[in-house]
Structure 1
Amino acid sequence: MDEFTPPEDDLRREIAMAAARLIAEDGLDYGSACNQAVRSVAGRERLARDRIPSHAEIQDEVRAYQALFLADTQPGELRDLREITLQLMHKLAHFEPIVYGALVNGTGSAHSDIHLLVFSDDEKEVDYWLLNQNMAFDACEDALLAGKVFPAVAFQWKNRWVQLGVASPAQRRGLLNRSSSEGSMFQTDIAGLTRLLEA
């Protein structure tokens, strides 16, 4: 008897739902969650790229999961995360920071890290600033925003992990106020985050 193979759309949805649970409950990043979900749903079967859900599809499932299972806790966790991030952005105001990721798109929770991009002609200037604040930091994997890669460091701020990328000031205009292909906001500045908190 042949093994049942679900339709492609059903398989993509099943993988997206499994990945969403891993993100919402365990705090995995999208790439790791998707890889783990593919293994749990498809086993050793190699899937064509078009059978794997996009980050946007997974994000939709994260929202659905949070609304169904975490509605009593996630909104408060998101607000706390945004408030902590805004405090840090004000400290970094000289570098005109942009925040992006889960706390902007509304899926942030107690598991979420803070992702910031700051702007300086010399990335060492940011390192010196962190040292002057007595903040221990380490180089980490590069920051990724709008398909561009930036050198980054990681440190802890108020018991949250922060990934802080550095770009040149000339790049800021092209990165700020861009929307995803679905039209949702995925990054903003101090003023934008303040508006999100006031909404």
Structure 2
Amino acid sequence: MKADKRELQRRIAYEAARILTEQRSGDYAYASRKAANRLGLNDLRQMPRREEIEEALREQQRLFLGEQQTSALQQLQRDALEAMHALSRFLPLLIGAVQAGTADRNSAIQLLLFADTPEEVIFALSDLNIPWRDSEHLLRFGNGHPKPMPSFRFRAGESAFELIVLPPKGRYSRPIEPGSDQPIRSINRDQLSALLNQTPT
């Protein structure tokens, strides 16, 4: 029975990874539901964990994109590190597909920033001569309710960025990973720098 369940989860994970790639989406919960529906599986107990879908996505990228995906991910990581240096006063954390290692050349670099007001980030972007557009990013916190947080989107070079602004106390009460009950996964500037230093060129 356990083997059957694992096989079903694996099938859903691989189909969900295909859907994420096809639709250029980061909505893992939606992709899981759609994958299960495509396969005629409606038992929520069979749903794979987010980590299983990410692993399936990385495997598909290795198979179909190979070195192209690896090079794109490394460039995004380098661009993320440069932005984290420039915005270091906001103690940036890298999240999303670039952090998870599932990004391709079309993925946006997502950074969490911590500031008393969004205006502080606006002033910093202006000082850096970066044209931006404001938006909102829904994040879920411990109470389970999605909350819109201010965000700023822009392009620098070939990379797209999204800066999501949290109050300083957000450093100690992290949002919840989409499709999970765990705190959102992130790495800081030093951790990203160490990761790049370990990556073969």
Equivalence for 2:45: 50
User: Matches of 1:52 and 1:112 in 2, distance apart?
Assistant: 25
Q: 1:113 to 1:31 in 2, by over 3 A?
A: farther
Q: 2:131 is matched with which residue: 119, 128, 135?
A: 135
Counterpart AA for 2:7:
D
Please state how far the C-alpha of 1:64 moved relative to its aligned partner.
1.9
Give the SS at the match of 1:116. Answer: strand
Query: What is the RMSD of the two structures over their aligned residues, measured on CA atoms?
Result: 2.9
Q: Which runs of 5+ in 1 are unaligned?
A: 1-6, 176-180
Instruction: Give yes or no for contact 1:138–1:153 (8 Å, CA) kept in 2.
Output: yes
When the two structures are superposed, what TM-score results if normalisation uses the length of structure 2?
0.75
Q: 1:161 to 1:31 in 2, by over 3 A?
A: farther
User: Matches of 2:133 and 2:89 in 1, distance apart?
Assistant: 19
Please state how far the C-alpha of 1:163 moved relative to its aligned partner.
2.5
Identity, in percent, stands at 28
The Cα offsets for residues 97-145 of structure 1, whole Å up to 9 and x where unpaired, read as 1111222222221132211111112233223333453422122232458
Equivalence for 1:118: 113
Equivalence for 2:196: 197
Equivalence for 2:11: 14
Of 134-143 and 86-95, the range deviating more from structure 2: 134-143
User: Matches of 1:57 and 1:66 in 2, distance apart?
Assistant: 14
User: Matches of 2:185 and 2:62 in 1, distance apart?
Assistant: 19
Q: 1:154 to 1:169 in 2, by over 3 A?
A: closer
User: Matches of 1:124 and 1:194 in 2, distance apart?
Assistant: 28
Q: 1:100 to 1:145 in 2, by over 3 A?
A: farther
